[in-house]
Homo-oligomer: A and B are copies of this chain.
Amino acid sequence: MEHLTAADATACILEKVQPLGTEIVSLQHALGRVLADDVLANRNQPPYDVSAMDGFALRSDDLGYVPVVLLVIEDIKAGDMPTFSLQPGQCARIMTGAPLPHGADTVLRVEDTTPLPNNQVQINASVSAGNDIRRMGESMQEGEAILTAGSEISAGAVGLLAMVKRRNVTVYRRPRVAILSTGDELEGLDEPLDPNKIPDANSYALMAQLQALGIEPTLLGIARDEPHELARFLERGLMYDVLLVSGGTSVGVHDYVRPTIEALGVNMHFWRVAIRPGHPLAFGTTDQTVVFGLPGNPVSSMVCFEEFVLPALRKILGHPRLFRRSLYAHLAHPIKHRPGRTEFVRVRLSKDHLGNHIAHATGTQSSGVLNSMAHADGLLIVPEQHEGLSKGEMAMVQLLDSSLYQDAQDH
């Protein structure tokens, strides 16, 4: 059977998935969601010209020669409205965010002044008109779209939504996702330990990968290698928006997943992709459910999730950016590669003294060893036709969640 390239598999998947619809969430639950509507400003911000500094509101005409002494006729703080108009030789003490008094055309920060007795202040520096003033509507103008449909709601966007008093927002709804593990050899988390069995790690690793995307999945459990039991489980899974089935999609003779899933009316688009780890990756759809058949091996399953399921879920969630960020890293050691499949090497990142990223493989890359994934910062990509990479060579590394942090701070 033909193996699709990773890029062709991704294109096939993304062509077939779409956002599901919208829902309304409160601001407290909006972080990370994607806006389904434009958000319009409900006010001018600032509502008038305001000071950008704590200091003095002045007439720039008075600053021809400095130092100069001015009379402080008023204190204006944020939230106040000025009561006087500045005359020549006068100024007003003003706080950040407070409105400029009539007659003032510039602001000088308090650090450039010296307080004097009798409501006077000595001005030690000259500034031109317009200094340290935030103009009316500079941050937002009433009616303008401050956030557009399709934007991810970052922490800054949450602040912006609060600024326009949006206590609720319309976002794309999250898919309901079910996880099914298959195989007689698997032992459930709640079952007693049997040394001849393999604990079901896949259900939980996939659960965590989904949780990182803000999706709380349903774990359907373990379906045994028996066609009727499997069919019952799969039918339940096909009631969800997305079904992840791990195990049972390889070419072995004991594999009931393929015929069972096809008998249930799932239109399977492909069964294999030329990547390592993880090539027995299957993808199918019904009218309402997207089905991924993931390898039984936990590392392979996690890599397939990263490469193929994650972009599909990001598209369903309405995100404009579907793929993991990647960066170049220098290899700490050579990496062997047999041409024919795109390989994803689990690496940990460090930095050299110049701030360049260095990639170290996380121990043995056997696809059975979940440790390699547990400690990885990223997946280093060895392209399909490469013969291998040498020490020091640069390669692209897709960043995993834990890579968002590093040991030392750059200043």
What residues of chain A have their CB less than 8 Å away from a CB belonging to chain B? Answer: 5-7, 10, 27-28, 30-32, 42-47, 52, 54, 75, 77-81, 93, 95-99, 110-111, 134, 138-140, 146-147, 151-152, 154-165, 167, 183-186, 189-190, 193, 195-205, 207-209, 211-212, 225, 250-254, 296-298, 302, 311, 314, 319-328, 342, 349, 355-357, 364, 366-376, 381, 383-384, 396, 398-411
Contact = CB atoms under 8 A, between A and B. Distances in A.
A124 B401 CA distance: 43
A225 to B, nearest CB: 7
B155 A302 contact: yes
B162 A205 contact: yes
Given A78-B183, A159-B298, A204-B27, A409 B252 contact: no
A97 to B, nearest CB: 6
A180 to B, nearest CB: 15
Contacts of A327: 327, 357
Contacts of A369: 138-139
A189 B298 contact: no
A367 B96 CA distance: 11
A47 B187 CA distance: 13
B374 A398 contact: no
Given A97-B296, A198-B78, A396-B410, A154 B401 contact: yes
- Chain multiplicity (copies): 2
B355 A205 contact: no
Contact of A193 (B42, B203, B368, B371): B42
Contact of A162 (B200, B342, B355): B200
A47 B368 contact: no
Contact of A374 (B47, B154, B314): B154
B297 A96 contact: yes
B97 A198 contact: yes
A368 B52 contact: yes
Given A47-B196, A79-B184, A80-B184, 14 more contacts: A10-B409, A32-B212, A43-B193, A52-B368, A96-B296, A97-B297, A110-B251, A154-B208, A156-B205, A158-B207, A159-B208, A321-B407, A322-B407, A324-B404
Contacts of A250: 54, 95-96
28 contacts: A6-B411, A10-B409, A10-B411, A31-B211, A42-B193, A78-B185, A79-B184, A79-B186, A79-B198, A96-B296, A97-B198, A97-B296, A139-B369, A154-B400, A154-B401, A156-B372, A156-B373, A158-B205, A158-B207, A159-B373, A160-B201, A162-B200, A165-B199, A319-B405, A321-B405, A322-B409, A325-B405, A326-B406
B199 A302 contact: no
B406 A96 contact: no
A407 B335 CA distance: 28
Contact of A138 (B30, B140, B368): B368
A130 to B, nearest CB: 13
Contact of A160 (B5, B324, B364, B370): B370
Contacts of A97: 183, 185, 198, 296-297
Contacts of A408: 323
